[in-house]
Structure 1
Amino acid sequence: MRTDGLTVPNGIENSVAERGYDPFDYKVHEDPYPFYAWMREHAPLYRNEERDFWALSRHADVKSALRNATLFSNRNGISLEPELWGPHAVKTSLFLAMDPPEHGAHRGLVGAVFTPNRVAALEPRIRELARARLEPLRDLPRFDFAADYAAGLPNDVVCEMLGVPEEAWDQIRADTDQLNQRADGEDDRGPNSVAAALRLADYFVGLVKELRRRPGDDVTSAMIQADVKGVKHTDAEIVAFLFLMISAGNESTGKTIGNAWYHGWRLPDVQRQGLNGRAADWVKETLRYDSASQMTARTVTKDTVLHGTELKAGARVAILPASGNRDERVFPEADRFDLDRDASKMISFGHGPHHCLGAALANLEMRIALEEMGTMVESYEIDVANARRVHSPHQRGFASLPCSVTHRAKARTTHD
């Protein structure tokens, strides 16, 4: 097994109590798992006084909080960033910043698109899009797996579903990547992130106006034409919906594909098996072991006691599914990447009423992405010295994963 090259030294667990867990800290982005392990063992209800939040890290606590929308509310949004937290969160996050029953009414408008049968029917088209992304890479001995492929495919899929014209796909992806970047230790958006948000908002406003005039066979048009209890959505609400769908459908899926590729480099046996027929298992264990989705936030609605400590109504709580997925109480040898593991209890897609709407689609996209890459590539190496992580309080993954590849002597199909 190769050493990581990007992770914090193992000894950091001894100093976590001094440094503290901060989701805006670049050291946490490099390797959050020693922080999570320390919290699960020593502070299952962790307090960050400076940023004024609590954190839940054990699997049972995370699952319980995600399931209990009455006590752990989405009404202030799911992000700790100041500009995204508060009663106004619904303007940027739409139904992610709602509680039942209002949440269910809005979510139900697009839920039909993500049923298992509807998602399964997308497989041929997703393979076409994957192959189109691979075509320029077929004769290249080196390319950037994250930037050239992993980030592109889910973005293409979600943009097409939303009615975004193909010529805008790459710019949407670039702006979405920039949107979530944060400077080390800062919880406010920097100028590049603000500029990306403004470009996206301007584009989405124009797209909504166009689709109101000429609706198509896409999710945005369906949302525009739908009623929720007799009330039509405003343009601002549809723009918020587009931000939500682009971010949710692009960020986590693309970064988890990149994380799978990275761990395949660290673990040659995983790489060999993953490229030769076990893409689904590769995806499943990556979701448990190192999912892109790390943290979501909630508001406590009434005074409650957890682990002997009283939380007051209005308290902010960071819920850490990625930590729960490494909890030894649920997953024996949780820090070992194991393709044969039963990962059915992982909580990477959340739990309860806010369980990820696009989970089936994300699983399909990730499997196809790795299967199609396996038709072209026999083995690969990552230039880890030049790999670059994203820096986001919520998302873990790579902005750049330069790699050298050994192409298969004869390209095979995914059915070989």
Structure 2
Amino acid sequence: MGPVYDPFSYAIHEDPYPTYAYMRENAPLYRNEERDFWALSRYEDVLAALRNPGLYSNRNGISLEPDLWGPEAVKTSFFLAMDPPDHGAMRRLLGETFKPRWVRAAEPRVRELTRARLLPLVERGSFDFAGEFAAAVPNDIMCDLVGIPPADWDRIRADNDLLNHCEDGVEVRSAETIAAGFRLAMQYVTLINERRRRPAGDLTSAMIAARVDGEPLTDSQLVAFLFLMVSATNESTGKQIGLAWHHGRRLPDVARAGLNGRAVDWGNETLRYDSPSQMMARTLTRETEIHGTRVPAGARVALLPAAANRDSAVFPDPDRFDLDRDTSALISFGHGPHFCLGAALARLELTVALEEAGRLISDYDVDLDNARAIHSPHQRGWAVLPTEVTRR
């Protein structure tokens, strides 16, 4: 009997990749009876599922937690819990936002907010890279975009950290996590009410003014939209920046090159080698044969993009971190109609964070004995990375 893949297990969170390797080789259609789901880990299978929302549906959401799975998932996941054509209609409400031209125009503000976080930390010499910088920067940028006042940014991020936390082996969310979700919902309701009274030049005001088939979005839809933007979208980017920093500490040649001009390559290979997006769930819409097994309609299927990014059929020597690797085939941002809307912004944030670090820092060390990983069924990353830096 092989290793157990359980996305709620802290052992998996610490290092899922040996289990993923076993699954790709020996159980490409993996079954977890206790949690009642199947899992796909090979690149070709994950890619095919992402391309086929008619068979692998989002209608019950993308999370396996009981209180996040089901027809009500749309209330917290917004268009992530929709299939085409409804999914596309909601995405189109954002217009040009997050598209490449918009992202290019946003770069000066992204750099401004990044530098505002980083410079005081570098002047101190030692700080928590994960909590005080990597997670803070994407949160600042998204809060700024949707119109949340700066005084609330750190509190929003703290509640988002709680929202995504799970206890070891437990799929039911804790009272602390539920309370954090309630506080966030109240914050978003307050923002929506304020923007209804006094519209501003932010994304929340634009969504209030948007229409679908001539009708405005309901308050429930607007709250779900803000949960998606602030409480989901920016989380992965923050984790990705921290993962790049961690692997730079583990591989000094990578850090040296990354801090001295190869920030893009550093970020791209981290996306491939150790993506924060580990698992996304789907509902199988009809009985289907997968790897010789008949999987029933309605089955829950976990797609594992981080496992797919280590598939040797696509990425030679996949367990080696290689700055010269062609990463164009990675699927860290998904694929098909549910390709991550914020992918271009996330890449920019990742690159700018590493570039600005390289502008100020010539070398660094991480106290791994006191580092602390996050624990989430969906994401991988660091909650705490105590860092000492050498200034340029």
Partner of residue 313, structure 2: 329
Q: Is the contact made by 1:155 and 1:249 (CA closer than 8 Å) also made in structure 2?
A: no
Partner of residue 358, structure 1: 342
Query: Where does 1:257-276 land on structure 2 (aligned, <5 Å)?
Result: 257-276=241-260
Q: Is the contact made by 1:155 and 1:246 (CA closer than 8 Å) also made in structure 2?
A: yes
Answering whether residue 243 of structure 2 is matched by residue 243 of structure 1, we say no
With structure 1 as the length reference, what TM-score do the two structures score? 0.93
Q: Deviations over 1:110-142 (max 9, x none)?
A: 142011111000111111101100122132221
One-letter amino acid matched to 1:337: F
Q: Is the contact made by 1:111 and 1:357 (CA closer than 8 Å) also made in structure 2?
A: no
Partner of residue 73, structure 1: 57
Answering whether residue 100 of structure 2 is matched by residue 116 of structure 1, we say yes
Equivalent of 1:190 in 144, 167, 174: 174
Equivalent of 1:213 in 197, 215, 234: 197
Q: How many residues end up aligned between the 2 structures? A: 392
Q: Is the contact made by 1:77 and 1:93 (CA closer than 8 Å) also made in structure 2?
A: yes
Answering whether residue 279 of structure 2 is matched by residue 298 of structure 1, we say no
Shift of 1:49: 0.3
Answering whether residue 253 of structure 2 is matched by residue 280 of structure 1, we say no
Partner of residue 90, structure 2: 106
One-letter amino acid matched to 2:68: L
Over 3 Å counting, the alpha-carbon distance change for 1:111 and 1:396 in structure 2 is farther
Partner of residue 127, structure 1: 111
Shift of 1:199: 0.7
Partner of residue 29, structure 1: 13
Question: What SS does the corresponding residue of 1:113 show, helix, strand or coil?
Answer: coil
One-letter amino acid matched to 1:378: S
Please list every run of 5 or more consecutive structure 2 residues that lacks an aligned counterpart in the other structure.
Answer: none
Shift of 1:219: 1.1
Over 3 Å counting, the alpha-carbon distance change for 1:240 and 1:342 in structure 2 is same
Provide the rounded CA distance (Å) in 1 between the counterparts of 2:216 and 2:125.
52
Partner of residue 327, structure 2: 343
Equivalent of 1:382 in 366, 379, 386: 366
Shift of 1:279: 0.3
Q: Is the contact made by 1:22 and 1:48 (CA closer than 8 Å) also made in structure 2?
A: yes
Provide the rounded CA distance (Å) in 2 between the counterparts of 1:111 and 1:184.
40
Answering whether residue 148 of structure 2 is matched by residue 164 of structure 1, we say yes
Q: Deviations over 1:225-283 (max 9, x none)?
A: 11111221111110011001112332100000000000000000000000000000000
Provide the rounded CA distance (Å) in 2 between the counterparts of 1:306 and 1:145.
43
Partner of residue 174, structure 1: 158
Cα RMSD after superposing both structures: 0.8
Equivalent of 2:48 in 54, 57, 64: 64
Identical-residue share of aligned pairs (%): 64
Q: Deviations over 1:55-87 (max 9, x none)?
A: 000000000000000000000000001000000
Provide the rounded CA distance (Å) in 2 between the counterparts of 1:198 and 1:91.
13
Partner of residue 134, structure 2: 150
Question: What SS does the corresponding residue of 1:122 show, helix, strand or coil?
Answer: helix
Equivalent of 1:42 in 23, 26, 40: 26
Provide the rounded CA distance (Å) in 2 between the counterparts of 1:141 and 1:87.
49
Q: Is the contact made by 2:3 and 2:19 (CA closer than 8 Å) also made in structure 1?
A: no
Provide the rounded CA distance (Å) in 2 between the counterparts of 1:344 and 1:368.
19
With structure 2 as the length reference, what TM-score do the two structures score? 0.99
Provide the rounded CA distance (Å) in 1 between the counterparts of 2:8 and 2:105.
39
Provide the rounded CA distance (Å) in 2 between the counterparts of 1:375 and 1:135.
10
One-letter amino acid matched to 2:185: A
Question: What SS does the corresponding residue of 1:332 show, helix, strand or coil?
Answer: coil
Provide the rounded CA distance (Å) in 1 between the counterparts of 2:202 and 2:81.
24
Q: Is the contact made by 1:26 and 1:184 (CA closer than 8 Å) also made in structure 2?
A: yes
Q: Is the contact made by 1:158 and 1:245 (CA closer than 8 Å) also made in structure 2?
A: yes
Of 309-318 and 185-194, deviating more is 185-194
